[in-house]
Amino acid sequence: MGRFEGCSHVFDIADTFVSSCLNDAEKNPSVNVKDKAGRFSMDTIASCAFGIEFLADKVMVAQCILFLMADYDTTASAVAFSSHLLAKNPEPQQRLRQELEELVKEEGELTYQGVMEAKFLDACVTVVIPGTNLHLKEGDLLEFPVWSLHHDPSYWSDPEQFRPDRFLPENKVNIKSFTHMPSGMGPRNSLGEVI
């Protein structure tokens, strides 16, 4: 199997992503990889999902949109976190580089099959929850205790009291990120939030 079937632009998009990160790194020692990974993710998904021809099948259109929305943030976050950890850990970074160089040497280029068989690459994307030995893998189910977050006295003074003033514009800066999620967060938040 050659390059990603139906996604011939993926490698060009990846090259642009890497070049953009390198250009920014020359100007500033801190690069917002999450933002760049989000752009990479969106470009890749759009190229793969919408670069194919489909008739007027509403189901196909709905599936493409679902694919786009469901994979955007998860892909961007995985790339950003993995990039950060690899940047801070030169030994695993070098091992990954060697694995990918071997794949290119064998195949002449990165192929879908090669990437799927890259064991160390897969291991680099496994998530470890900070401060624990818990490893998250693709397919693991996570639940966030939203009610508990909203009632945690370490984040809210008088958490049981109804105090709308907490959410006035001048007070929102005091709210710690991801401690108030009445409608969820990110691309999967409630549709009611945007209406």
Residue range 49-91, pLDDT digits in tens: 565 444 646 666 666 666 666 666 667 777 787 788 888 888 8
What are the φ/ψ torsions at residue 128 (nearest 5 degrees)?
A: -110, 125
Report whether 45 contacts 71 (CB < 8 A).
Answer: yes
Mean pLDDT of 163-173: 84
Two tokens at 149?
């977050």
pLDDT band at 192 (very low <50, low <70, confident <90, very high): very low
The Cα 112–Cα 3 span in angstroms is: 6
Paired with 128 in beta bridges are 135
What does DSSP assign to residue 3? S
Paired with 135 in beta bridges are 128
Two tokens at 29?
């020692």
pLDDT band at 101 (very low <50, low <70, confident <90, very high): very high
Does residue 107 surpass a pLDDT of 90? no
Domain coordinates of the chain in residue numbers?
10-136, 146-193
Mean pLDDT, all residues of the chain: 76
